[in-house]
Amino acid sequence: MPPNVIPYHQHITTRRNRVLANPQTTAAERQAIARYTARWDRSARPQNPTGIEEIRARLWRQINGVPKCYKCFRGREAMPGMPRGPGTVLDLTMLPIGLDPIDLVPCSCAWEEAIVKEYLVAKDIWPADPLPGPSNYMLLDGLIGISRAPNALIDRNVRITEVQRDIQAHGPDAGIETDEI
C-alpha cells in the first residue's frame, strides 16, 4: 500500500470517534456503536466458529482485514465513502458504524443478504468464481429474492416485528386464518 493511502479501518475508527466525541450522541447510539464494533471490527473475527458464526467468519477475507460480503469482495467493489475517481473525496458519513436502520456489513451491504449469498457459495450452490459482470449478481439477487433497496428490508423487518408482537399478545395462532369450522 502506498505510504499516503490511509487504510479503510482507520477511516471507520475516525468516524466512530467523531460520533462518540459529539455531546449530542445519545446513550442508545453509543450502545449501538459498541455492539457494531464488537461484531464487525477487524479483530472481531470469530475463533472456532460454529453454525451461523462459521458463515460470518468467512466475511473476513484477509487476516486483520475489514469484513466484506461475497459480492463486494469478488466484484472488487470500493468500500463505502471511499473516493471513486479523480476529483472525488472521502465521505465519512457513508461508513457504517452501527447507526443504520438495518444491520450492515462494513462494506455497507445488508447482513441478511450477505449471509445468504455466503451460505450459497459455502455449499457450492453458487459458483465461487462466477463470470464477471453485474448480470450474475442480479441473478443471485433474484435467486434469493432479496431486494437491494434498504426500505424493502426495513419494511420487512417492521412486518416481522409486528407479527412477533401479535404472537406475544395473542398466542402462536395469532393472525392465522384457517378453513376449519
Question: Contact 41/105 with Cβ under 8 angstroms?
Answer: no
In a domain, 1, yes or no: no
Please give the residue range of the domain that contains residue 160. Answer: 149-181
Q: Of 40, 35, 55, 53, which is closest to residue 8 (Cα–Cα)?
A: 40
Does residue 131 share a domain with residue 91?
yes
Q: Give 10-58 pLDDT, tens digit per residue.
A: 888 888 999 999 999 999 999 999 999 999 988 888 888 888 888 888 8
Q: Of 98, 99, 102, which is closest to residue 160 (Cα–Cα)?
A: 102
**How many CB atoms are located within 10 Å of the residue 121 CB?**
20
Give the pLDDT score at 170.
67
Structural domains in the chain (count): 2
Q: What is the pTM of this model?
A: 0.65
Q: Give 55-92 pLDDT, tens digit per residue.
A: 888 888 877 788 888 878 877 667 776 666 666 677 77
Does residue 118 share a domain with residue 33?
yes
Q: What is the DSSP letter of 66?
A: P
Residues constituting the chain: 181
In a domain, 19, yes or no: yes
Please tell me the distance from the alpha carbon of residue 16 to that of residue 46, in angstroms, as a whole number.
Answer: 22
Does residue 66 share a domain with residue 35?
yes
Half-sphere exposure of 93 (CA within 13 A, CB side): 0
In a domain, 3, yes or no: no
Q: Give 35-48 pLDDT, tens digit per residue.
A: 999 999 888 888 88
In a domain, 72, yes or no: yes
In a domain, 42, yes or no: yes
DSSP 25-44: --HHHHHHHHHHHHHHSGGG
Does residue 141 share a domain with residue 166?
no
In a domain, 70, yes or no: yes
Q: Assess whether pLDDT exceeds 50 at residue 150.
A: no
In a domain, 89, yes or no: yes
Question: Contact 95/66 with Cβ under 8 angstroms?
Answer: no
In a domain, 79, yes or no: yes
